[in-house]
Amino acid sequence: MTRITSREFNQRTSEAKRAADRGPVFITVRGRASYVLLSIEDYDRLARTDRNIADLLSMPGVEEIDFEPPRLLDRPETPDLD
């Protein structure tokens, strides 16, 4: 995963495209990720409708993505079927 500023992207577009061949390029605006540059292969893989979790987890750079799923605070009650 590569991070560049929007200014760097404007000045070094060719380098950003080469980096996108290796994985997603996150383009930041004022220090915050605002855009992602992907190779067409990565885009096609993301846009597929028949993908599964294993495909998504095998994408390049996925280990660098911060992800913390929300915790369930209230579990639904088990219905009384008697």
**Rounded distance between C-alpha atoms, residue 77 and residue 71, angstroms:** 17
Average pLDDT over residues 26-52: 88
**Rounded distance between C-alpha atoms, residue 23 and residue 51, angstroms:** 18
pLDDT the model gives residue 5: 95
In a domain, 16, yes or no: yes
Mention every residue, 6+ apart, whose C-beta is less than 8 A from residue 37.
9, 16, 17, 19, 20, 24, 25, 27
State the pLDDT confidence band at 70, using cuts at 50, 70 and 90.
Answer: confident
- How many distinct structural domains can be found in the chain? 1
pTM of the model: 0.59
Instruction: Supply the range of the domain harboring residue 53.
Output: 2-61
CATH number at residue 52: 3.40.1620.10
Examine the pLDDT at 74 and tell me if it is beyond 70. no
pLDDT the model gives residue 7: 95
